[in-house]
Structure 1
Amino acid sequence: MTNEEVTQLLRKAYGDEIETVMNYLSNSVVLDGVTAEEVKENLAADTQEELGHAEMIGQRLKQLDERPPASYDFEARQESLQPPEDSTDVLSVINGVLDAEEDAIETYRSLVTAAEDADDPVTEDLAVTILSDEEAHRTEFRGFKREYEE
């Protein structure tokens, strides 16, 4: 892997984090119902964590003499995380979160490998840190899914 590949993965991760912030925020507002409250609260809290990830990635890009992506560079991809038509369809949001977290985990694992190959321990450490957070989010929402499928 080259430094260019590291930069491309950082830019993808940054865009994904920003899109996740937007979708988590929307879903935390849109969902209705008593059973939605815990999911809404977790989404609201995770929104701040995902924004923190984007900030860390943006800072790393700046350190690498790159500009973090802006709105014109953005391409939305999280189809399954769009707010549902039925505001009580909590399970569809949970499934969307799981899709987004799986994609993030894949991206950060690729970034760990790319950074290691490019002899970039700072980016590798950043990717490992964020990967741990994303795996924790996935575990949390897997638990929600099990509860909703009972």
Structure 2
Amino acid sequence: ALPLRQIGVVESCYRDVQGTPRQPLLAPTARAVCVLDKAVVEACALEGLDRHSHVWLLFAFHENTNGRKRAVAAKVRPPRGRGRKVGCLATRTPHRPSALGLSLVALESVDARARRVVVRGADVLDGSPLVDIKPFLPSYDAPP
């Protein structure tokens, strides 16, 4: 079994899958609040996060109905793929074997006591289960 644990939920302005941007860069001013579960995340776990300009959000595509199917389509047509099908793992589609999303967002504020992290540039649907927050480290996360 995979020990994946929900640490909180993302509150965003996007209430519907159809109106949610496909990529975080398409919504640079969209704010979201990561509300962390106090039973799972201690306040001290957020210490030092505010030193970073950006963070990665790892979340579940909880409205993805393909997760209920036995098998996910191996090939999809990405929006900018000129109609060509490619393997789902070669895209950022939410329709994938493990419906996990990864978004790089700007960090606006951290309230450790309230367990709230405010971010900007989020392309995340309201109510999405949050699995992890990691700092963006340019020296490691940007290719040479």
* TM-score interval for Structure 1 and Structure 2 normalised by the shorter chain: under 0.3
TM-score, length of structure 1 as denominator length: 0.22
Higher helix share: 1
Question: Looking at both structures, which has the greater relative contact order when contacts are Cα pairs under 8 Å and sequence separation is at least 6?
Answer: 2
TM-score, length of structure 2 as denominator length: 0.23
